[in-house]
Amino acid sequence: MPKIQIMSSVLANQIAAGEVIERPASVVKELVENSIDANSTKIDIHVEEAGLKLIQVTDNGEGIHSDEVEQAFERHATSKLISNEDLFRIRTLGFRGEALPSIASVSMVTVESAQEGKAGRHIKLEGGKLVESKPASSRRGTLIKVEQLFFNTPARLKYVKTIKTELAHISDTINRLALAHPEISFRLFSDENTLLKTVGNGDIRQAIAGVYGVETAKTMKKIESTSFDFKVYGYVSLPESTRASKSYMTIIVNGRHIRNYALAQAIVDGYSSKLMVGRYPLAVVNIEMDPLLLDVNVHPTKQQVRISNEKELGELVKKAVNDLMSAEQRIPDALGNI
Ligand code: ADP
Ligand code: MG
């Protein structure tokens, strides 16, 4: 008997899930990103027990062709990357064709999807194995239900924190996606509670109002700055309304929320000495660039990216905030001093 064998696809998917699906919020992120890539204008997310019992995402996007719903759960199956060159021009949030098979390998999944005017398909998988496939209604869009997450990976289930912590991660994930996509109406429900509602009219300040409240949104100021390679725009708070945590800064590159220490620091530096030590602004900073300048294929979760000319971009972000600070200073104070 040979010693080297190719592992089963279910096992390979479970191993991939170890990287991509760390906790319930990772499932939420992957499913909602798929809904965004499908050009949805309305996305509803329902979770029960912080997603451990149920995560359900309903969208009104383009849907999956009824002949391809099963295929979407195969590893490396994607409609988003066709050629090698596409890898350097990524405009979609997904491209690895890994999320659905990974999620399915560690949970019970039900999918119902239909394209405009076409017959729909309903399928069910248990631990990655197809157990049901039948015709479904032709309501345009996709509904995905993920139940009993990590039922077959006890080590991962043990690692999951309290309901409160996991729910906070889910909320944070949806908040950032909503801030990055003001053109989409998001609703997040947890058990009986509504945690988030955004209007989806394309206005960033309206999205901020949905996430941080109307009063906070009103106090935030517009920033904008452009160079040959980059366009930076968004809203930041004034030095008098800050937070004790950096987590109220959201950096979005070509529609994708990213984590980047240097750019977060550039926002802070834009305030020069106006922020108190240990205080951070609220900020929603959008950056647009040619996808050729951006490598998103750094990590499976795609939250870290490599940007060509990151230093120049940092200077531009700092300048965008700094221009606002200078402009604010020119406004006369209560005594009329300029
Ligand atoms: P990726 O997003 O990297 O392509 P996924 O495993 O997340 O890989 O999804 C596989 C494919 O299934 C996608 O490329 C897309 O064609 C289809 N798909 C998944 N979710 C949706 C959705 N909500 N609406 C339309 N198509 C979807
Ligand atoms: Mg995807």
- Runs of H (alpha helix) within the chain: 9-20, 24-37, 99-105, 154-159, 163-180, 204-212, 214-219, 261-269, 310-329
Ligand in closest contact with the CA of 111: 1
Instruction: For ligand 1, say whether the CB of 63 is within 6 Å of any of its atoms.
Output: yes
Q: What are the structural domains of the chain?
A: 9-197 (3.30.565.10), 220-329 (3.30.230.10)
In angstroms, what CA-CA distances link 260 with 81, 97, 138, 145, 169? Answer: 25, 25, 42, 32, 18
pLDDT tens-digit series, residues 272-329 = 989 999 999 999 999 999 999 999 888 887 788 999 999 999 999 999 999 999 988 7
pLDDT tens-digit series, residues 52-98 = 999 999 999 999 999 999 999 998 899 988 777 778 788 899 888 89
Could you tell me where the beta strands, DSSP code E, fall in 51-96? 54-59
Q: How far is Cα 52 from Cα 149, in angstroms, rounded to an integer? A: 5
Note the pTM of the prediction, 2 decimals: 0.94
The closest-lying atom of ligand 1 relative to the alpha carbon of residue 61 is 24
Q: How far is Cα 95 from Cα 336, in angstroms, rounded to an integer? A: 56
Residue 156's pLDDT band, with cuts at 50, 70 and 90, is: confident
Instruction: For ligand 1, say whether the CB of 61 is within 6 Å of any of its atoms.
Output: yes
ipTM: 0.99
The alpha carbon of 36 and the centre of ligand 1 are apart by a number of angstroms equal to 10
Residue whose CB lies within 8 A of the most ligand 1 atoms, among 31, 34, 93, for a mutation test: 34
DSSP letter (8 states) at residue 199: -
Instruction: For ligand 1, say whether the CB of 77 is within 6 Å of any of its atoms.
Output: yes
Instruction: For ligand 1, say whether the CB of 112 is within 6 Å of any of its atoms.
Output: no
Ligand in closest contact with the CA of 60: 1
